[in-house]
Amino acid sequence: MDEMIPSQLHRLDAKDVVEQLGSDIHTGLDLEEVETRRARFGPNTITSARGQSEWMRLLLQFHQPLIYILMVAAIVTASLQEWIDSGVIFGVVLVNALIGYIQESKAAKALEALAQTTVTEARVLREGTVRLIPSEKLVPGDVILLQSGDKVPADIRLFRARDLQIDESALTGESVPVSKLTAPLPDETPLADRKNLAYSSSLVTYGQGQGVVYATGGATEVGRISDLISKADALETPLTQKLAKFSHILLFIILVLSGLTFAVGMLRGDSTVVDMFMAAVALAVGAIPEGLPAAVTITLAIGVNRMARRRAIIRKLPAVETLGSTNVICSDKTGTLTVNQMTVRQIWAGNARYDVSGDGYDPQGEFAAIDSIPLEDNEAARDCLLTGLLCNDATLIQEDEQWHVEGDPTEGALLVSAGKGGKGLRTLADAYARLDSLPFESQHQYMASLHEAAGQRRLLLVKGAVEVLLAKSTAMRLADGKTVPIDPAQVQRHFDEMAAQGLRVLAMGMAEVDASLSEIRHEDVKDLTFVGLQGMIDPPRQEVIHAVAACHRAGIQVKMITGDHAKTAESIAEKIGIIGPADPNSNAPRVLTAADLADRTDEQLQSDAKSVSVFARVTPEQKLRLVRALQADRSVIAMTGDGVNDAPALKQADIGIAMGMGGTEVAKEAADMILTDDNFATIQAAVEEGRGVFDNLTKFIAWTLPTNIGEGLVILAAVFVGTALPILPVQILWINMTTAVLLGLMLAFEPKEPDIMDRPPRDPNEPILTLDIMLRILTVGILLLVGAFGAFQWATANVNMSEDAARTVAVNVFVVVEMFYLYNCRSLTKSVWRVGLFTNHWLTLGVLTMIVLQLAFTYAPFMNLAFHSEPIGLDAWWRILLTGVAAYVIVEVEKWVRRILERRKAARG
């Protein structure tokens, strides 16, 4: 006996499936056969592939070019006996490694969480006796008994179902429980519509059922999703990719320039090997941006805190920046774009239509008459609402000012619509005591209830599928209370109009029956008076409409990928602005379904993924395939989801976003970010923060690199000219470490620029440093070379200054120019006066602290001893300040010229 291929099961008769599995409906398996099969198929658990050891994962954190550069810098500073600086650099290396290790360890828990979702207890029939056993001990062929509240323990072919409803939303995305049946289904039936199967980890919400296990562990649908998660690519973020490339280039430049410095000095013949070695070391130390990794980590951490305040929890630091470069958001529908609460939106009764306002289960809302008949004057509408209220097994509860439903969401929606109909309806309902009921069964497609009315009357109320009630109705109630023969074509026309809007439509009917009737059977459900239709939908969140519009303005595509029906998905997508109104002259598809995707080649799917914005009834494999198709175009993809079925796509996406309130643990562990309010609008806020983080990182890099370039050029110039070094390695370390912490890092607190969400997304292929920024970095680097080298030459020519004093002047030139240039970098395109001079209080504090430290560097005796500095006079200070002002003015003029050129370019078109 082999585990069967799932695609075979739904089309076979249940008895044939049981027979092929070598089992028996009445007795199940015997214990000896159970042990044989357990040895063959293993436990009913999901096992993850063995990953890297903890030590290897930790060591790999050091396998990065930028880390190599920092480790070399630490060794060099240690060789100079600068133990504090060496310790700081080693500390930066260790902190970065630990952060990466911790984040990877958290991500590895995704499969463990998935395995835990399948561990439960099951009622199983073995040797004719019902036993309660752990689900991990199940084997193919076991006969399972299901009832309300059970978690389905394995993949099962049902052979008995009594009012059985199963919530499969975590697996298929279907927003309401699925009514199960046992009859064979057509071969082409998609996964989400195979109603004679029950899937592992889904939840029984109503009724009872029995079935035979055909798949356990990794062979189940949820097991196959586990395999997809393990195979999904662990992608680098745009930031890590760009920093890695930048680090390789930087490493090469440092090695070449250090070697060139040593070679030139030796060829001149007037320097010793030790002198030239120290010059090469000074250049290497100057060129290494020691503060960059710390700045990246701290800037991202600040972004994490800002996002947490906006209800987005970041699990992996680089995800902050990835959000800023996102240009496609793929969103699930249920609970993310919608409120995840069925809501009646439209009623047709007594030849009159009403739109119903209000969202979710809060019974606050109004009926807007479309056909000029007020609700209170429409007796058919009253009967329609009363039927939905009384023929109902759900309960509407208010707790802590929040409304929720116990029972079926569809029935909950009917309670809410009746509540909106007025208190009088509830008072009227209290007078109708229920005597009996027929629960909803999939083979009958209706629910019926018997009530005792005033005057010893008995009232039969029925709700269900429109086609069923039409067949059982002979009359139709009008608004004035009169009845006329029913016109099925008229009812069908209104049903079609409501269904075309993506509404799930239920029909309501009633009949006055014999006063002696105390129990009802299906034969009694006949000769009904049709009283109306109620159309419901899981409505979109109102704030999502604005968030989607903001994403579109920012150049970000929003795509819906859902397991729900195509019409429902299209209706919601149109309401929230993902797609526009249908164009009757266009043949382009608005929605693609699972069947459509199955027919597409990879090349065709890549084209459709770009042009189509709504994908319905998709399977987990297809979600994963869609994400990969979008990534093939080098788009940066954010994928949202809450169910087990979303986990592979969440892991594959550049940034996976899980729902914190309604999401499964599997989805949360596979994601990079979790929304604490399950709201798409929070994603838009997170994208805004992500763009701000990348802006600030770019500003820091544009600020810090000129110093490294300037220091390297000063050393090179001294070697080429044959003079003493204007700055020593230990002074370079002082400049780099203090200014990076007190000046550069303050840019991490820079407020977001007002137009940040009016810009298009960054091109994923664009380097971290654009040509304009590189030219500015080079310009400021040359200004530092001219200013510092010129100041050193002036000071050495002054007979009143020693070589240490001359170096002190050069060091102060570097620090003062960095202070002025810091204000240039508060915006890479705008003047600091437009940004606001004092809008970043941290930056002001950093500058003042740096001034105090630099005065100590210049005048404190212990600092003079440690850093080979000396006090300098006012004649040196005004030259230093003039150099800083000149650098600031030159950069501002360059920005002004560039703005003029860009405006002219835009004007030309």
Handedness of CA 284, 286, 292, 298 (dihedral sign): positive
Partnered with residue 448 across adjacent β-strands are 438, 462
Q: Is 260 left (phi over 0), alpha (psi -120 to 50) or beta?
A: alpha
> How many other CB atoms are there within 10 angstroms of residue 254's CB atom?
22
Nearest Cα neighbor of 169 from 323, 333, 331 is: 333
Radius of gyration of the chain (CA): 36
Q: Are the beta carbons of 284 and 262 closer than 8 angstroms?
A: no
Task: State the Cα–Cα distance between residues 322 and 310, nearest whole angstrom.
Answer: 17
Distances (CA, A) of 414 to 463, 476, 546: 10, 20, 29
Going by their DSSP bridges, the two strands 637-641 and 328-331 should be labelled as parallel
Q: Where are the beta strands (DSSP E) in 139-199?
A: 143-147, 155-167, 178-179, 197-198
Strands 528-537 and 473-477: parallel
Give, rounded to a whole angstrom, the gap between the first and last alpha carbons of the chain.
Answer: 71
Sheet holding 591-593, edge to edge: 312-314, 673-675, 655-659, 637-641, 328-331, 557-561, 614-616, 591-593
Residue whose pair of structure tokens reads 């070598």 in the numeric block: 22
Catalytic member of 142, 155, 167, 332: 332
Residue 702 contacts residue 777 (beta carbons within 8 Å): yes
Asked if 464 and 447 touch (Cβ cutoff 8 Å), the reply is: yes
Two tokens at 365? 């809302």
Q: Residues near 87 by Cβ (< 8 Å), separated by ≥ 6?
A: none
Phi and psi for 142 in degrees, rounded to 5?
A: -65, 140
What stretches of 269-344 show up as alpha helix (H) in DSSP?
A: 273-287, 292-309, 318-324
Name which of 270, 267, 280 is nearest 722 in CA terms: 270
In whole angstroms, give the CA distance from residue 599 to residue 675. 34
694 secondary structure, DSSP code: H
Active site residue 2: no
Catalytic residue positions? 332
